Structure 1
Amino acid sequence: MEKDSKLYIKDVAKITGLSEQLIRKWENRYHIIKPERLANGYRVYSSDDVTTFMELKKLRDQNVSIKNAVQIILENKKLESIMERLPQVEQSPYVEQLIDRGMVYDEEGMMHILQKAHHQYGLALFLQNTVQPFLEKIGVLWETKEWDESQESVSSLLVKDYLAEIDRHFQIIDDAPHVLGFCLPGELHEIPLQIILLQIKMKGWRTTRISASPKFTAIERLINHLQPEKVLFSASTLIPFQETEDLLQDLDLVAKKFPEIDFYIGGRGAWEYTNLIKPSHIQVGFHVNDVI
């Protein structure tokens, strides 16, 4: 189906397996689809409309009510719109070089490429045009089984260690304002948190990063002990929320206890989850500028 296809309702019914009557019912009752009307009065639908009907059908088949399914789809469209507005930079040529070296477990070669890219672009651009797209490609290669777990692990750990070394040598004045960053309990991907905390450091803030998957009891204790100006929670996956059903609500209660501190939550897992459940005392952040 072409992206700009114009389809009659009978075509949509055939593609989706939904009856024409049900398509009209969902369209008229929930207003999630607004088909174009031709001069002769016939309605025509786009490929995006068909995708929306397919998503509605899938959620319905998972026993989600149509009302809730519509809300989920609308929130996801909103998230996609926000993501499209985030700053985009062109991927550096070093990303493919890193993939080539990672495929054969060449840690020395990857380290040399990281250093070269860092020196050429400077830290801010290096994080955006080399580190982030490299990590995204690693994730895709692992999910599609093109890379095995050891290739993914070796490459990710090398990036993590390289960023940790940069962080150790970052000079910030002692009385600078302080951001405390946590991965959520159950979240093992801590490199996205490393990246945003380095971006925050470049803006003159002190940062403290708590390693992956801390115990929930440690979160409140550390906030109370360190008394930062801001707290950032990071979730790259939905796993923390799947493992602990009331995790976001419990974090919100922690934030409520510290009204003088600004709390934020970010990462793809958090963005997806907060589409449905909105915290009251924690702001959702999509970019470093949302936090600082």
Structure 2
Amino acid sequence: MDKLINKIKDSFTIQDLEILTGIKAHTIRIWEKRYELLNPTRLNRNVRTYNLSDLQKILNVSLLYKRGHKISKISKLSDNQIAEEAKVFALRDFSNTYEINSLIICMYTFDQKLFHEIYKQQSEKLTFRQIFTNTYIPLLNHLGLLWQTDSIKPVHEHFVSNLIYQKIALNIAKIPSNKKSNNPINVLFLPYGEIHELGLLFLNYYLKLVGQEVIYLGKSIPFDNLFYLNSQIKSITWITYFMIDKTKEEKDEFILSVSKLLEHTKNKCIIVGNIWEEYRKKNTNEQIIFKSKLEELVSVNEAKLSVI
């Protein structure tokens, strides 16, 4: 986190800082008043804005604070000392929070070099499965929330998403082709209108890695195309992944379409995403399986898929 921030102007509200750090806005205001921790620009009496340096500092502060450091002691450190303390802590405990915070700064500053440096450092200690599960998935969860709250521009999300996409594609290319088997073919898709496909693409990598047969359809697939594929392949495990919330009407329509897709077959559909929690509780269709997180499908340490 001691990287120099590129001169790309951007500003953040206190609500943005709350979302990015997990520290309540009320607490941040108290820290400002009591410890002069940040120096926001005041647009008027009630509105403050924060720059990238403020974001970098509060991310480091939140890392130390959540690990037991008292805010009264943190506030006495200089910005450079706070950054160094966060770095030392991360290196000692190899906390993925440090990498996630670094990637958030990387995203806002469009720093490709920093992204690749973080990946190289992690690759020396972790498998790609571990990097994605422990760092990229939490980051993607952040992006989903930031997207919904207009805390990031599309250009930010596209920048970091495409860098992660490149790493997934690179690792997929290293996997030898799998032999055909009698097991169900995993068909991975995102429904029409859903465009956040990185989680699904990683699952494509993971399934191939553990020897599963996969057809990857990608994003925004109309259901009539799925019905056509259903007529061509006898045994299918459908898998889809949601990052962004939908209205109740949209969810009901999707579940109805999935139910029709599964009718008169022995196929199953795995729906991943925490937006489906209420549906999971009420689900009576044994062919539909709800998973809250992608991590529930992926074993980081052993080569197996927990539900297939």
Determine if the TM-score, normalized by the shorter chain, exceeds 0.5. Answer: yes
- Distance in 2 between the 1:220 and 1:269 partners? 25
1:180 partnered with 2:187: yes
Q: What pairs up with 1:61-140 in 2 under 5 angstroms?
A: 91=96, 93-140=98-145
Aligned partner of 1:192 among 187, 191, 199:
199
Give the drift of 1:272: 4.3
List runs of 5+ in structure 1 lacking aligned partners: 1-88
The alpha-carbon distance between structure 1 residues 249 and 147, as it changes in their structure 2 partners (threshold 3 A), is closer
Q: Give the CA deviation at 1:244.
A: 6.9
Q: How does 1:271-290 map to 2 (within 5 A)?
A: 271-276=277-282, 278-286=284-292, 287-288=296-297, 289-290=305-306
| Unaligned residue ranges in structure 2 (runs of 5+) | 1-93, 298-304
Provide the residue aligned with 2:159 in structure 1: 154
Going from structure 1 to structure 2, the CA distance change for 1:272 and 1:244 (only over 3 Å counts) comes to closer
In structure 2, how many angstroms separate the alpha carbons of the residues matched to 1:271 and 1:109?
A: 36
Preserved CA contact (<8 Å) 2:108 2:156: yes
Distance in 2 (CA, whole Å) between partners of 1:115 and 1:210 is: 30
Relative to 1, partners in 2 of residues 1:247 and 1:137: Cα closer, same or farther, differing over 3 Å? closer
CA distance in 2, matches of 1:252, 1:172: 32
| SS of residue matched to 2:211 | coil
Question: Any idea what the Cα deviations from partners look like across 1:86-130, whole Å, max 9, x if unmatched?
Answer: xxx963532222122111112343234234423431022112111
SS in 1 for 2:126: helix
Letter in 1 for 2:136: V
TM-score, normalisation: structure 2: 0.57
Matches of residues 8-27 of structure 1 in structure 2 within 5 Å? Answer: none
Residue 174 of structure 2: aligned partner = 169
Aligned to 2:37: none
Q: Which moved more, 1:155-164 or 1:281-290?
A: 281-290
Indicate the residue corresponding to 2:30 in structure 1: none
1:118 and 1:185, CA in 2 relative to 1: closer, same or farther beyond 3 A? farther
User: Which residue of structure 1 lines up, in the alignment, with residue 307 of structure 2?
Assistant: 291
Could you say which residue in structure 2 is the equivalent of 1:258? 265
1-side partners of 2:109 and 2:243: how far apart? 27
Shift of 1:132: 0.7
Q: Alignment identity in percent? A: 17
Residues 224, 210 of structure 1: alpha-carbon distance in 2 compared, 3 angstrom cutoff: same
Secondary structure of the corresponding residue to residue 271 of structure 2: strand
- Cα offsets for 1:170-213 (capped at 9, x unmatched): 22422244311111222222112123333333322122221111
Q: 1:143 to 1:263 in 2, by over 3 A?
A: closer
| Equivalent residue number for residue 54 of structure 1 | none
Q: CA deviation at 1:245?
A: 4.4
**What do the CA deviations read for 1:35-66 (whole angstroms, capped 9, x no partner)?**
xxxxxxxxxxxxxxxxxxxxxxxxxxxxxxxx
* Distance 1:242-1:256 versus aligned 2 partners, 3 A rule: same
Q: Structure 1 residues 217 and 115 mapped into 2: Cα distance closer, same or farther (>3 Å)? A: farther
Change (3 A) 1:277 1:230: closer
Instruction: State the shift of 1:255 in Å.
Output: 0.9
CA contact (8 A) 1:249 1:279 kept: no
Task: Tell me the residue number matched to 1:27.
Answer: none
Q: Distance in 1 between matches of 2:165 and 2:279?
A: 26
| TM-score, structure 1 normalization | 0.59
**Alpha-carbon distance change, 268 to 256 in structure 1, aligned in 2, over 3 angstroms:** same
Q: Where do 1:37-76 residues align within 5 Å?
A: none
Other structure's SS at 1:212 match? strand
Equivalent of 2:223 in 216, 221, 231? 216
Q: Supply the distance in 2 between the matched residues of 1:146 and 1:222 (Cα, whole angstroms).
A: 38
Structure number, greater radius of gyration:
1
2 CA distance for matches of 1:162 and 1:241? 35
Secondary structure of the corresponding residue to residue 221 of structure 2: coil
Contact 2:191-2:221 at 8 Å conserved across structures: yes
Distance 1:170 1:251, change over 3 A: same
Contact 1:241/1:247, CA 8 A, preserved across alignment = no
